[in-house]
């Protein structure tokens, strides 16, 4: 339950969220929108500016000049570092950074390391999605130990009318693997295609749907063109988040084949509907499920094939894992817990 009894109105000022993406439906945009909506319901004034907006820098400068905001919360370490460089007036305010995945798994270990560290040093608190990331960052960079805070993302799906399988050409006997993901190289979608293509000759009822925006042009084209040649696979493009529940409900298994994750949010959303998961055994996915309880971890194509084969052949296993998946989400990924944790964080910085 959302705790509104001790909400501090921050002396009439507002919280500002800075997200790199808003128009495009991606992890950062969905996370920031969910937090904004949830905290508004708690009586906290909270605004959002996207770096996709043409006039974001001008709007931000004007807001700072008017002294309207009391805390600024940026998403993604690399993008936020570039904001800080362009708008140094932000340093007058308490700052929060949420590190969302690629900034931890790639940017912090690559050529943009210094920029990510720059934003991490500039802020008062750093939010990550799980304790494993907090521990790994603390071990590598002890200077940030006191700044780190783990807040899992909550699952929040809108109720929508159900889609009947026959209305979209999906046979009742079809066994549907759903891979909800934007088309980006880091999502490693070819792994799912390779594994299921090898299984399909023996399991002709197998189907794969990929659902997400085309983000990286060359990679997207390679996936789309390949899927056009596979009679058992279908690419749906981007489905508005307000409608994704109706597609999740058709699935037998949800897949995440990423090379690295912040939190596999779409997979967890599907799991909340009693759907077992197969996740790659990579940072951000590891620690989400228990192997062979709510689903399977796969380190390579062969392990993904074996996990898929087990679920294809054993309906009771699928149902048992699906029930365990739903319970895990209810126990660990409640939106109310996410909102309350952010409200407490903001209160601590506004004192």
Total domain count for the chain? 2
Asked if residue 213 lies in contact with residue 192, where contact means CB atoms within 8 angstroms, the answer is no
Say what percent of the chain tops pLDDT 70: 94
Q: What is the CATH number of the domain that holds 26?
A: 3.40.50.2000
| CA nearest neighbour of 275 among 256, 254, 291 | 254
pLDDT tens-place values along the chain, 351 residues long:
445 444 444 445 789 999 986 555 555 678 888 999 999 999 999 989 989 888 999 989 988 888 788 899 999 999 999 999 999 989 999 999 999 888 999 999 899 999 999 999 999 999 999 999 999 999 999 999 999 999 999 999 999 999 999 888 899 999 999 999 999 999 999 999 999 999 999 999 999 999 999 999 999 999 999 999 999 999 999 999 999 999 999 999 999 999 999 999 999 999 999 999 999 999 999 999 999 999 999 999 999 999 999 999 999 999 999 999 999 999 999 999 999 999 999 999 986
Residues 52-95: tens digit of each pLDDT:
888 999 989 988 888 788 899 999 999 999 999 999 989 999 99
* Residue owning tokens 């009586």: 43
Q: Do residue 206 and residue 255 come from a single domain?
A: yes
Per-residue confidence (pLDDT) for residue 16, from 0 to 100: 93
Q: Do residue 171 and residue 120 come from a single domain?
A: no
Residues 138-156: tens digit of each pLDDT:
999 999 999 999 999 999 9
Domain that holds residue 313: 165-332
Does a structural domain hold residue 220?
A: yes
Does a structural domain hold residue 2?
A: no
Q: Do residue 200 and residue 291 come from a single domain?
A: yes
Q: Do residue 58 and residue 175 come from a single domain?
A: no
- The span from the CA of 324 to the CA of 315, in Å, is 14
Does a structural domain hold residue 160?
A: no
Q: Do residue 40 and residue 81 come from a single domain?
A: yes
Helix, strand, coil percentages in the chain from 3-state DSSP, rounded to 5: 45, 15, 35
Asked if residue 85 lies in contact with residue 53, where contact means CB atoms within 8 angstroms, the answer is no
Q: Do residue 118 and residue 169 come from a single domain?
A: no
Q: Do residue 27 and residue 137 come from a single domain?
A: yes
Q: Do residue 220 and residue 84 come from a single domain?
A: no
Q: Do residue 139 and residue 204 come from a single domain?
A: no
Q: Do residue 111 and residue 250 come from a single domain?
A: no
Per-residue confidence (pLDDT) for residue 26, from 0 to 100: 56
Per-residue confidence (pLDDT) for residue 221, from 0 to 100: 97
Q: Do residue 183 and residue 75 come from a single domain?
A: no
For 160: left if phi > 0, alpha if psi spans -120 to 50, otherwise beta; the answer is beta
- The span from the CA of 59 to the CA of 53, in Å, is 9
Per-residue confidence (pLDDT) for residue 20, from 0 to 100: 87
Q: Do residue 327 and residue 196 come from a single domain?
A: yes
Per-residue confidence (pLDDT) for residue 29, from 0 to 100: 73
Does a structural domain hold residue 159?
A: no
Does a structural domain hold residue 128?
A: yes
Asked if residue 258 lies in contact with residue 184, where contact means CB atoms within 8 angstroms, the answer is no
Per-residue confidence (pLDDT) for residue 28, from 0 to 100: 62
């Amino acid at each position: 339950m959302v705790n509104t009894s001790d909400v501090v109105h921050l002396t009439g000022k507002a919280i500002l969220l800075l997200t790199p993406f808003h128009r495009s439906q991606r992890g950062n945009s969905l996370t920031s929108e969910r937090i904004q909506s949830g905290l508004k319901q708690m009586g906290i004034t909270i605004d959002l500016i996207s770096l996709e907006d043409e006039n974001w820098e001008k709007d931000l400068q004007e807001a700072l000049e008017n002294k309207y905001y009391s805390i600024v919360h940026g998403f993604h370490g690399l993008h936020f570092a570039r904001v800080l460089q362009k708008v140094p007036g932000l340093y007058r305010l308490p700052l929060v950074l949420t590190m969302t995945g690629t900034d931890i798994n790639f940017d912090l270990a690559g050529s943009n390391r210094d920029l990510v560290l720059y934003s991490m040093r500039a802020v008062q608190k750093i939010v990550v999605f799980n304790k494993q990331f907090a521990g790994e960052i603390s071990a590598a960079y002890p200077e940030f130990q006191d700044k780190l805070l783990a807040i899992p993302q909550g699952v929040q799906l809108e109720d929508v009318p159900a889609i009947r399988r026959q209305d979209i050409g999906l046979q009742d006997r079809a066994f549907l693997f759903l891979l909800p993901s934007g088309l980006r190289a880091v999502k490693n979608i070819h792994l799912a295609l390779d594994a299921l293509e090898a299984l399909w000759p023996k399991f002709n009822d197998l189907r794969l749907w990929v659902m997400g925006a085309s983000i990286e042009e060359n990679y997207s084209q390679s996936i789309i063109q390949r899927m056009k040649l596979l009679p058992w696979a279908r690419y749906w493009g981007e489905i508005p988040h307000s409608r994704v529940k109706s597609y999740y409900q058709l699935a037998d298994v949800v897949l995440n084949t990423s090379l690295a994750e912040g939190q596999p949010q779409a997979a967890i959303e599907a799991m909340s509907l009693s759907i077992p998961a197969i996740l790659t055994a990579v940072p951000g996915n590891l620690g989400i499920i228990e192997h062979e309880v709510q689903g399977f971890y796969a380190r390579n194509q062969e392990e993904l094939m074996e996990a898929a084969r087990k679920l294809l052949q054993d309906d009771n296993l699928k149902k048992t894992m699906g029930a365990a998946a739903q319970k895990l989400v209810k126990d660990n990924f409640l939106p109310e817990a996410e909102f309350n944790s952010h409200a407490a964080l903001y209160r601590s910085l506004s004192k």
